[in-house]
Copies of this chain bind each other. A is one copy, B any other.
Amino acid sequence: MIVEHQSDLTLAVEQAMQATPDPRLREVMSAFVRHAHAFVREVRPTDAEFERGLGFLIALGHATGETTNEVVLAADVLGVSTLVDLLNNPLGDDVTATALLGPFWRLNAPACASGDCIARDNTPGEPLTVSGQVRDRAGRPIAGAKVDVWQASPVGLYENQDEGQPTMNLRGVFTADGDGRFALRTVRPAGYPVPTDGPVGDLLRAQRRHPYRPAHIHFMVTAPGYRTLVTQVFADDGEHLETDVTFSVVRSLVGRLASGPEGFRLAYDFVLEEGESRVPTPPIP
């Protein structure tokens, strides 16, 4: 199309893409162009601003490598990752809410017996006991469900970020008993900042945002015939609950930490829905 006015451009691009054989690619790119053009028409970037925006995208790619992913991090801190997660896993009353897998899950964490402690080699910290039941939507226990748990240490570091921790520390896979119940011992995790040494850190500083995630424990709950549940449970007395930098704190995922003579206790049940049991690709080899 020969352009007569800027308003012609969106249609011109959509027409150029209309021969795309894959209907889903056609649909996604058409929507992308419409929304991208609407954004440009709203903000009307100057040439210098446009160059700066493109430069930021280049910097995200250049800063992404084997151990860092600034593109994913940018999607996280702009709420896009959580939005995709919530659209694919709508919040409901009957099934446990999901949360992002995050970059720290590892395949093949040690198998544990009920009640085992995942804070190995006397990891210092406040003792915490976690227990709960895995059920289906009808309230029936799911015997033998696997509860894969991983968390940061009391100083906010995962074992593979911290030479002071033994390998696979604060990770374990528990098997629910005949009544769907599981129990484990650990130490309270601390919240921690997302990486701030790349372009996303520059953006957060320019926006006067703190980089912290509130303290949480990751869970992946699987059982044959049930959709894999990937979630995080947050401590109700932690900092940054209202201002999680990745916008992951859903009300129903805030767990109540009760303190007692033997430390803290967290009781949290998981409700799975029927579906495909699928193990994600681990972000860490």
Contact = CB atoms under 8 A, between A and B. Distances in A.
A71 B58 contact: yes
B4 A91 contact: yes
Contacts of A3: 82, 86, 91, 247-251
A88 interface: yes
Identical copies of this chain, number: 2
Interface centre among A19, A47, A62, A91 (most CB of B within 10 A): A47
Contact of A2 (B47, B86, B242, B245): B242
B78 A33 contact: yes
A155 interface: no
B12 A79 contact: yes
Interface string A70-95: 01100100111111101110110000
A137 interface: no
Interface in A26-52: 26-29, 31-33, 35-47, 49-50
Interface of A: 1-6, 9-10, 12-13, 16-17, 19-22, 24-29, 31-33, 35-47, 49-50, 53-54, 57-62, 64, 69, 71-72, 75, 78-84, 86-88, 90-91, 203, 206-209, 241-243, 245, 247-251, 254
